[in-house]
Amino acid sequence: MKKIDRLKKSYDNIDIPPELNDVVKDSIRQAKASQKKRPFLKQWTIGAVAAAALFVSSINMSPTMAQAMANIPVLGSIVEVLTVQKLTLDEKTYQADLATPAINGLENEKLQASLNEKYIEENKARFEQFEQEVAEMKKAGNGHLGIDTGYEVMTDTAQLLSIARYEVNTIGSSSTTMQYDTIDKQENILITLPSLFKDDQYIKVISSYIAEEMKRQMTADEEVSYLDFETIKPDQNFYITANHQLVISFDKYEVAPGYMGVVTFEIPSDILSNLLVSDVYIH
Amino acid sequence: MTKKDKFELVEKFIIENRETHYRLAYSYVRNKENALDIVQDSIFKALKSIDRLEEITYLKTWFYRILINTSIDFIRKHQRITVMDDEILSVHLPKLEDEMTDMDLQEAIDQLPPKYKTLIILRFFEDLKLEEIAAVTDQNVNTVKTRLYSALKKLRIEVGEEFRL
C-alpha cells in the first residue's frame, strides 16, 4: 500500500501553474458573457415562432384544421413578452446590465401601456441612480458596484401570464429582489394577491402554512435555514403556476439568510379553496 | 433558489476548487497546457448546462463528471500523440531506484483504459466514496467495486486494510 501512498503524494504535488487562476476567472467571465446573449426569453420566443410556423403550415395544409383552429381563442391574440430596452454600463469595477421587458398583444391596451411604462420608468430610475452612485464613488476613491436586472416568464398559458422581474445589486455581497406581475390574458386584468380572496383571512392561513413548511424543511435538511417568520404582507410577491398553484416569493434576506437567496413556497390549493373568490386561477 | 444564486454557488465552487480540478485533468493528459484547456472547457460546459444541475448537493459529482468526460474526450481525440512533454523531461532526470518503481506504477496507471483509470484516481487520489464515484461515472456501486478490484489486479497492487473498498 505504500506505493499507492507515494503515488497519491505525487498526485497532490502536481505543480499548479500560476496562470490557472486567470484561466478559471476568464472562463467564468466568458461563460457569463455568452449566457447573457442567450437569455431565458429567447428560448421561449424561438418556441413561439416555431409553434406559429407550425400553425401557419397546418392551416395551409388542411381546411378542416384551419376550421378547428379558428375555434381556439388563443390564436386570435398572441400575447408575448419582449426585451425593449437594454441599459448597460461597463467599466472595470462598475457594471450595469438592465434589460427592460415589454408586453405585446394584450387586448386591454391601457393596461399593457401602463405596465410597459412602469417597466421602462423603473429601469430608467435605477440606471440614473446607479450612475449617480458611481459618480459619488469615483469622487470618494474607487470601489465596486454592479446592478443587473432582467425578467423571466414564469407562466404563460392561454389564460395567464406571470412575469418575474429581478434586480441584483452588487456592493461587496449581492442582494436580489423579485417582483411579479400576473395578468389574466382573457379578461385583460392585472391580478393582485388580495383580489384573489374573499377577505383578508388568507394572510393568516398562508402565513401559518409557510411557518410550518419552514420548520419542516429545516428539520429535513440541515443546510436549510430561515429567520423568524411571522406573517406575509397583504400584497406579498406571488405568481400563479401553469398548474394553477399559488406561489409566494420572498426576496433574498427577507425571511432567510443570504445564502438561501430568493425563496418561494408553493401553497397547496386545498387549504385556500374556501378563501378564494373563485377557482378559475387557483385550484 | 433562483438561477442567479445557483450560478453564484457554482462559480464559487469552481474558483475554490480550481487546483483539485487542475490536478484531476492533469492526471489524464500529463501536460500543463492541455490540462488548462480541459479546465477551461469544463467550466464553459458546466456554466452553459447549469440548468441540468437539478440539486446543488450534486454539484461536486456533476462537475467531476463534466471534467472527466472532457479529459477522456481529449485523450480520445489526441490518441496518436503518445509522448508527452512533461514525461520526456522526467525520463531524463536522474532518479532514486525507489522512485523508479513509483514511476512504473504511475505509467501502469496511465496505461489503464480510461474507465479503470478514472476509478483509481477518484478512489485513491481524490478520496471519493464509492457512492460518489458511482454518481460521477454513472454506474452502480457494484460495478464500481468490481472494476476497482480488477484495476488493482491489473496493477498488481494489494489492497491493505486501510484502503477498504
Give the model's confidence band at B110: pLDDT under 50 very low, under 70 low, under 90 confident, else very high: confident
Give me the pLDDT at residue A214, please: 92
Can you give the three-state secondary structure of chain A, one letter per residue?
A: CHHHHHHHHHHHCCCCCCCHHHHHHHHHHHHHHHHHCCCHHHHHHHHHHHHHHHHHHHHHHCHHHHHHHHCCHHHHCCCEEEEEEEEEEEECCEEEEEEEEEEECCCCHHHHHHHHHHHHHHHHHHHHHHHHHHHHHHHCCCCCEEEEEEEEEEEECCCEEEEEEEEEEEECEEEEEEEEEEEECCCCEEECCHHHECCCHHHHHHHHHHHHHHHHHHHHCCCCCCCCCCCCCCCCCEEECCCCCEEEEECCCCCCCHHHCCEEEEECHHHCCCCECCCCCCC
A205 shares a domain with A156: no
Mean pLDDT for the stretch of residues B143-162: 75
Inter-chain touch B18–A21, beta carbons under 8 Å: yes
Inter-chain touch B2–A4, beta carbons under 8 Å: no
A271 shares a domain with A230: yes
Residue A250 maps to a domain: yes
Burial zone of B142 (CB within 10 Å; 0-12 exposed, 13-18 middle, 19+ buried): exposed
Q: Are B3 and B52 in contact (CB under 8 A)?
A: no
Residues of B in contact with A25 (CB under 8 A): 15
Structural domains in chain B, CATH included, are 1-81 (1.10.1740.10), 94-165 (1.10.10.10)
d(CA A115, CA A168): 21
Pairing of strands A145-156, A94-104: parallel
For residue A26, what are the domain limits?
Answer: 1-71
Mean pLDDT for the stretch of residues B10-32: 92
Q: Which of A28, A44, A253 to mutate to test the interface with B (most CBs of B within 10 A)?
A: A28
Residue numbers in chain A where pLDDT is lower than 50: 38-43, 53, 55-63, 66-67, 69-77
Residue A49 maps to a domain: yes
CA angle B93–B97–B99, rounded 5-degree value: 65
Last residue in a domain, options A71, A91, A119: A71
Mean pLDDT of chain B: 80
Residues of A in contact with B22 (CB under 8 A): 14, 16-17, 20
Residue A177 maps to a domain: yes
A209 shares a domain with A168: no
Instruction: State the cell numbers at B74.
Output: 481529449
CA A97 to chain CA mean position, Å = 16
Whether B161 has a pLDDT exceeding 70, the answer reads: no
Pairing of strands A145-156, A160-171: antiparallel
Q: Kindly report, residue by residue over A21-65, the tens digit of the pLDDT.
A: 988 988 888 888 776 554 444 445 555 555 554 544 444 444 455
Give me the pLDDT at residue B79, please: 64
Q: Kindly report, residue by residue over A220-239, the tens digit of the pLDDT.
A: 887 788 888 889 999 999 99
Last residue in a domain, options A162, A191, A220: A191
Q: Are A167 and A123 in contact (CB under 8 A)?
A: no
d(CA B129, CA B48): 28
Give me the pLDDT at residue B19, please: 93
Give me the pLDDT at residue B16, please: 92
Q: Kindly report, residue by residue over B61-80, the tens digit of the pLDDT.
A: 999 999 999 998 888 877 65
Task: Say yes or no: A23 contacts chain B, CB-CB below 8 A.
Answer: yes
Give me the pLDDT at residue B118, please: 92
A96 shares a domain with A157: yes
A94 shares a domain with A162: yes
A171 shares a domain with A157: yes
Q: Tell me which DSSP letter residue B159 carries.
A: P
A64 shares a domain with A157: no
d(CA A99, CA A237): 20
Residue closest to A80 by CA, chosen among A38, A41, A35: A41
Give me the pLDDT at residue A208, please: 93
Residue A41 maps to a domain: yes
Give me the pLDDT at residue A173, please: 59
B27: nearest CA partner in chain A:
A11
Cα-flanking dihedrals φ and ψ of residue A106, to 5°?
Answer: -70, 145
Exposure on the CB side of residue B130, measured as CA atoms within 13 A: 13
Residue A76 maps to a domain: no
Give me the pLDDT at residue B157, please: 64
A53 shares a domain with A128: no
Burial zone of B36 (CB within 10 Å; 0-12 exposed, 13-18 middle, 19+ buried): buried
CA angle A222–A228–A234, rounded 5-degree value: 125
